[in-house]
Structure 1
Amino acid sequence: MIYAKGPAKGLTRRAILKGSAGAAALATIGAPAIVQAQSDVIRIGHLTPRTGFLGPLGEYGVMGVTLATEEINAAGGVLGRKIELLAEDSVNPSTASTKADRMIGRDQVIAILGEISSASGLAISQVAGREKKPFIQTGCNSDELRGKSCNRYMFHIEGANTMYINAVGDSLRREGLVKDKKWFGLTADYAYGHDLLAVSRRYAERNGADFSQNELVPTDSTDFSPFILKIRRARPDVVVSNLAGNQITNFIKQYKEYGLEYPLAGGGFDTAAAWGAGPEAFAGIWPAIWHHTLDTPSAKAFTAAFTKRWGKPPENQAWGDYLGMKILARAIEETKSTEGDAIVQHLESGAKFDVLKGREGYFRSWDHQLMNEMYSIRPKPRDKQADQWDMLLLGDPVPGPGDDLESIATSRSDSACSLG
């Protein structure tokens, strides 16, 4: 069963109230009556932005987790019980914390999935840690969440900023755009952007690039002309985007309109940003954690099922939320338990998972980051594009075949994480 707003089409609160004695139960006992009356389900919470500059990505996340829930329930559920998904807009850190607390305390969810904003992810993880419920975050990039703010009950499907920077840096070095080059950055002015800027500058320093110029961009900015004029005056060798959500789309479009020729590169990226900009405007070299053209059996099956369900291919955020639900369901099935500590111990054990790529992935026991392949991505030649979604060319996996998956991630000696 699914209880969600937006694109998820399933059981709604109104439908529940239409059931026998539903309204009376709510009137006399309140919303917990629904919880008490449905012990035959496993209730899982999903929080992610559905509005604001991250909203377009959040909607893909909802579609991904909804599809995973439907597939699991169609196959008989988990431990003989169906999954009921409670999906809501996380809005901002304060609201996300309040909703996480309510989902765990009132609705009795056994775990929470989702989120994109690193600030909201931190707020949810604090509630999950206090209540000892797993939180599998699917879209927060900040290294700090895997560092000094790590939490024994928080696991990371999404790649860390360090992983993204190392993935795209591999391509930039091959293009001769790192050593002795002058970088100019545009950075989203919130937790994720600040963290990404710090990681990008650290990478630049270690590899001989000058990244002294940077502009902070408010998250509600839609006019990038003042920043583009500063880029024109600076005449950099590379323009580095540390932007997020629809900021990336708006910037790419306006950058194209101004006709600047300085190469673009990104520290963070979501496929929806390129789709929004369109093939005429999209340019540059960017990191990618997943793409729907990956040629593996499980990736092709997911893409086909998602496209059939929603009428378009999955974006990388859809991959993360779909995978989060599948991993959680498998952990419950294999531990024969919905208890938080049992699930955490299983995920920490080194269990391998099909992550819809060429190699299996696993969570590191000491910071709970999912270790898996990354990629770089760039525009696909127009004559090679099969349809409106086929505008990106995926590079080879990073790390390469046979290389240690952890080679692109923060090392334990450099991490401030202590799970206790």
Structure 2
Amino acid sequence: MSQLTDTISRRTLLRAGGAALLTPALAAPALSQGQADVIRIGHLTPRTGFLGPLGEYAVQAAQLAVEEINAAGGINGRKVELLTEDSVNPQTASAKAERMVQRDKVACLIGEINSASALAISQVAQREKTLFINTGANSDALRGSDCKRFMFHVESQNTMMVRAAGRALLDKGLIKDKKIYTLTADYAFGHDLLKQAKKFFAANGGTITGEDLIPTELTDFSPFLLKIRQARPDAVICNLAGAQITNFLKQYSEFGLPFPVAGFGFDLALAWGAGQGNFLGTWPVVWHHMVDSPSAQKFVAAFKAKYKRPPENQGWSDYTSTKIVAQAMNATKSTDSMKIVEYLESGAKFDIHKTREGYFRPWDHELMQEMYAITALPQEKVKNQYDIFTSTGPLPGPGESLEVLATTKEENACTFPA
């Protein structure tokens, strides 16, 4: 990922009745009157670059969650304010996280999508002993070698994504004894996803016969599509991220290649952005807007009413994380991060807008939850721009432990720093 300078940014301060655009971030903060009566939450996520389309959903959903929390009486009777910033890159994410904690006195940090930026934020959170809920970074290392006591993960880890999609691909006969060509985003998330994908292929009889690393800024996939045409694989597996996936799908359709497409990392906004007829293949998602549970559909209806479109899975993650924080603070009657950490480690259950409640594993802080594999509908069956896929039922299934898709301690050891 290119190293971007940390230019003057804007901060959006959300209150119960709306949003106020503040002065540039280098100026003194304009915080509310009566600060002791307000709980501030810091929200960091990419708003620009190849992950920007996902960040927009994340911010909108977190805003909605705060409005709902405040409408229900706030947290322990105190109103919530959401401070949002564009994290841009790891260096900027670290600086803004530190500023939010030290200057703006946020009670916790929520957000992020880029795994390297999430690591940078987690280091600040650990040093400052401030809760950080990761809403979008998938790297297994964040739950293993880089785990932190003050970091929790509502987003699924890469292994869970691979195993969820892998079940569907095995059912379709696209792994065992097949030649596979992989395209992988050339940064921490992609490298980690490819590592987990290779483990899955090796365990299930698939063979990688071609692989390429794709720069995050790349927009023209034609050289790689020509290589795929020549290689004639049985399946093309994408370990791409953000706008890379949208661009790839558009160009794959234009080239008219006949090889089945699938992926191990995905967000619905990327399918919607590809345009009519360009979404192809089978992909994993942590959530989608057609999940059949009352709380999921209540969230979908509220998001649609406010933003005139359904939420996608990154929006679900930031919305759900904000609600989890509110539940934890209400339950402990505290904003003290250590007390919240202990509550989250206690096995507390949360309505995560799926058919089963979720809980955090105490030893790696990963949210145990259902996932889904979606497959693109044939174009003749598409009725609108959003309902463009069919979905498996929840994975794991109703009779399985929620932990069967996740790594074990032996696979991904976590030792929290002191």
- Same fold, TM-score > 0.5, yes or no: yes
Cα distance change, pair 385–259 in 1 and its aligned pair in 2 (3 A) = closer
1:11 paired to 2:15: no
Indicate conservation of the 8 Å contact 1:289/1:316, yes or no.
yes
Contact 2:13 2:22 in 1 (8 A): no
- What's the offset of the Cα at 1:12? 3.1
Decide whether aligned partners of structure 1 residues 69 and 5 sit closer, same or farther in structure 2, where only a CA change above 3 A counts: closer
1:341 to 318, 325, 338: 338
- Give the letter for the 2:285 counterpart: A
Give the letter aligned to residue 343 of structure 1.
I
- C-alpha contact 2:44 2:109 (8 A) present in aligned 1: yes
Report the CA distance between 1:9 and its aligned residue. Answer: 4.9
**How far apart, CA to CA, are the structure 2 residues paired with 1:385 and 1:280?**
9
- Indicate the residue corresponding to 2:199 in structure 1: 202
Note the C-alpha offset of 1:381.
Answer: 3.9
Using the alignment, how far apart are the partners of 1:384 and 1:345 within structure 2? 48
Moved more, 378-387 or 351-360: 378-387
Per-residue deviation, 1:144? 0.6
Match of 1:22 in 2: none
Given candidates 106, 123, 128, the residue that maps to 2:125 is: 128
CA spacing shift, 1:411–1:234, aligned 2, 3 Å: same
Deviates further, 209-218 or 377-386: 377-386
Q: Secondary structure at the match of 1:34?
A: coil
Q: Residue in 2 aligned with 1:416?
A: 413
Query: Residue type matched to 1:365 in 2?
Result: P
Pairwise CA distance, 1:121? 0.2
- Aligned partners of 1:36 and 1:153: how far apart in 2? 29
Find out whether 1:61 has 2:58 as its counterpart.
Answer: yes
- Residue matched to 2:245: 248
Task: Quote the Cα distance in structure 2 between the aligned partners of 1:201 and 1:144.
Answer: 16
> Which digits, 9 at most, give the CA deviation of each residue in 1:324-354, with x for residues without a partner?
1000011000000000100000001110111
Q: In structure 2, what is the Cα distance between the partners aligned to 1:380 and 1:260? A: 17
Say whether 1:85 aligns with 2:82: yes
2:222 pairs with 1:213: no
Q: Which amino acid aligns with 1:10?
A: A
Which residue pairs with 1:23 in the alignment? none
- Deviation (angstroms), 1:5: 7.6
Q: State the Cα deviation string for residues 153-180 of structure 1 (Å, max 9, x = none).
A: 0000101000000001001111111111
Runs of 4+, deviation exceeding 6 Å: none
Q: Distance in 2 between matches of 1:234 and 1:40?
A: 63
Counterpart selection for 1:102 from 83, 99, 104: 99
Q: Distance in 1 between matches of 2:296 and 2:33?
A: 38
Secondary structure of the residue aligned to 1:239 is strand
Distance of 1:9 and 1:228 partners within structure 2 = 46
Question: Aligned with 2:20: secondary structure?
Answer: coil
Q: Determine what percentage of the aligned residue pairs are the same residue.
A: 58
Contact 1:5 1:88 in 2 (8 A): no
What secondary structure is seen at the aligned counterpart in 1 of 2:149?
coil
Alignment partner for residue 393 of structure 1, among 390, 393, 416?
390
Partner of 1:400: helix, strand, or coil?
A: coil
Offset of residue 374 of structure 1: 0.7
Q: TM-score, normalised by structure 1?
A: 0.93
In 1: Cα distance, 2:159 partner to 2:363 partner: 17
The 8 Å contact of residues 148 and 416 in structure 1, kept in 2 or not, is answered as yes
- Once the two structures are TM-superposed, the CA of residue 277 in structure 1 deviates from its matched residue by 1.1
Cα displacement string for residues 191-213 of structure 1 (whole angstroms, at most 9, x for unaligned residues): 00000010101111111111242
Q: Are the counterparts in 1 of residues 356 and 370 from structure 2 also a CA contact under 8 Å? A: yes
Query: Would you say 1:257 and 2:266 are equivalent positions?
Result: no
Cα distance in 2 between the residues matched to 1:316 and 1:59: 12
For residue 169 of structure 2, what is the aligned residue in structure 1?
172
State whether residues 107 and 336 of structure 2, in contact with CA within 8 Å, keep that contact through their aligned partners in structure 1.
yes
- Deviation sequence 1:279-306 (CA, Å, 0-9, x none): 4111111111111011110010000000
Q: Matched residue pairs, number?
A: 406
Higher fraction of helix? 1
Following superposition, the deviation at residue 11 of structure 1 comes to 2.8
Deviation for aligned residue 1:34: 3.4
Q: Using the TM superposition, give the Cα deviation of residue 35 of structure 1 relative to its aligned residue in structure 2, in angstroms.
A: 7.1
Partner residue in 2 for 1:304 = 301
Matched, 1:181 2:190: no
Query: SS where residue 292 of structure 1 aligns?
Result: coil
- For the residues of structure 2 that align with 1:387 and 1:282, how far apart are their CA atoms? 13
Distance of 1:88 and 1:370 partners within structure 2: 25
| Structure 2 contact 242–270 (Cα < 8 Å) conserved | yes
Which amino acid in 2 is paired with 1:58? G
Name the aligned partner's letter for residue 55 of structure 2. G
Contact 1:279 1:391 in 2 (8 A): no
RMSD value over aligned CA atoms?
A: 2.0
* Structure 2 contact 209–233 (Cα < 8 Å) conserved: no
1:282 equivalenced with 2:291 (yes/no): no
What is the rounded CA distance, in whole Å, between the counterparts of 2:312 and 2:142 in structure 1?
23
Paired with 2:276 and 2:389, the residues of 1 have a C-alpha distance of 9
Distance in 2 separating the partners of 1:406 and 1:147: 16
Q: Secondary structure at the match of 2:177?
A: coil
Residue 328 in structure 1 maps to residue 337 in structure 2: no
* Residue aligned with 2:36, SS: coil
User: How big is each residue's C-alpha offset from its partner over 1:7-55, in whole Å with a ceiling of 9 and x where there is no partner?
Assistant: x9513325xx9xxxxxxxx99xx73673785221001100000000000
Task: Decide whether the 8 Å contact of 2:13 with 2:81 is kept in 1.
Answer: no
